[in-house]
Amino acid sequence: MPELPEIETTRRGITPHLLGREIAAVVVREPRLRWPVPPDLGQRLGGGRIRSLDRRAKYLLIGVESVSGPGTLIVHLGMSGSLSIVCGEVAPRRHDHFELRLDDGVRLRLNDPRRFGSVHWTQAAAESHFLLRALGPEPLGPAFDGDYLYRRSRGRRAGVKSFIMDAGVVVGVGNIYASEALFRAGIRPGRPAGAVSRARYARLTETLRATLNEAIELGGTTLRDFVGGDGRPGYFRQSLAVYGRGGEACHACGASLRAARIGQRMTVWCPRCQR
């Protein structure tokens, strides 16, 4: 489900419901996520106050002033996870694994059928957590530009799509937006990353930023059941030029879009527009 725009949409949607509230209780219905949910989360978080909601890569960082000091709840939605705001007593649905109950009766629910998501709690600096430590720069941040991508890509023979989906290079770029940004930049996804020029990387950073920003503006991409924290679906799906359109006509030139696996992930591109 979620790439960076979907996480950001979720963060913006749930923030007004959480900020400043006290955590009354924690419910863990299914601890077997990508990593086991800590069994003592209830004791650690109970009575704590939510101070901040941030995002790093595809991780949601919930800053909590807990009874034993400040810490961060690190939530990842994996492939199929979603967070929703529930008011009062609402029967849990299948795959509702985790829940924060707030002092005003509102609940934050994590639903994740495939259980690739995770919940961690750390009282150390979040950026030093083992999940976040080795991450590359944010694509919408100042450290990300064409020169950076050009430098990092020298000598790399894997496809440029796999390269920009490598979280050690740049974070938050998943299968949808990698495909879309490469289409907009006119770069063939299978081209070796080390064989892309500096000028074309400059162009790619622009299209990546634009694609991600547009998707955030539209509330993300709803493919099956994604809804932002406010319950509304994302409308970026109508803007997809190549993702999920293998065999169909390119909107720009009419050529038949090609589809193939690159680095295990289905990839679609226009054989005429992308070189």
Q: Is 193 in the site for DNA (CB under 7 A)?
A: yes
Q: Is 13 in the site for DNA (CB under 7 A)?
A: no
Q: Which positions from 215 to 244 touch DNA by CB under 7 A, shown as an x/- string?
A: -----xxxxxxx------------------
Q: Is 58 in the site for DNA (CB under 7 A)?
A: yes
Q: Is 32 a catalytic residue?
A: no
Chain-centroid distance of CA 44 in Å reads 26
Separation CA 109–CA 151 (nearest Å): 41
Q: Angle 261-213-198 (CA atoms, 0-180°, nearest 5)? A: 65
Separation CA 171–CA 180 (nearest Å): 16
Q: Of these residues, 34, 58, 107, 188, which one is catalytic?
A: 58
SS3 253: coil
Q: Is 192 a catalytic residue?
A: no
Phi then psi for residue 62, to 5 deg, are -105, 110
Q: Is 120 in the site for DNA (CB under 7 A)?
A: no
C-beta atoms surrounding 250 within 10 Å = 20
Closest CB to DNA among residues 132, 270: 132
**To the nearest whole angstrom, how small is the minimum distance from the Cβ of residue 203 to DNA?**
21
Q: Is 3 a catalytic residue?
A: yes
**To the nearest whole angstrom, how small is the minimum distance from the Cβ of residue 197 to DNA?**
17
Q: Which of residues 76-95 bind DNA (CB under 7 A)?
A: 76, 78-80, 94-95
CB environment 8-25: b (16+ within 10 A), e (fewer): bbbbbbbeebbeebebbe
Q: Which of residues 172-191 bind DNA (CB under 7 A)?
A: 174-176
Q: Which of residues 151-170 bind DNA (CB under 7 A)?
A: 155-159, 162-163, 167
Separation CA 121–CA 98 (nearest Å): 13
Q: Which of residues 94-113 bind DNA (CB under 7 A)?
A: 94-95, 113
Give the total of residues touching DNA (CB under 7 A): 43
Separation CA 50–CA 5 (nearest Å): 23
Residues contacting 66, CB < 8 A, separation 6+: 44, 45, 47, 48, 123
**To the nearest whole angstrom, how small is the minimum distance from the Cβ of residue 259 to DNA?**
8
Catalytic residue positions, numbered: 2-3, 58, 265
The residues binding DNA (CB under 7 A) are 1-3, 6, 32, 34, 57-58, 76, 78-80, 94-95, 113-116, 131, 155-159, 162-163, 167, 174-176, 193-194, 220-226, 263-266
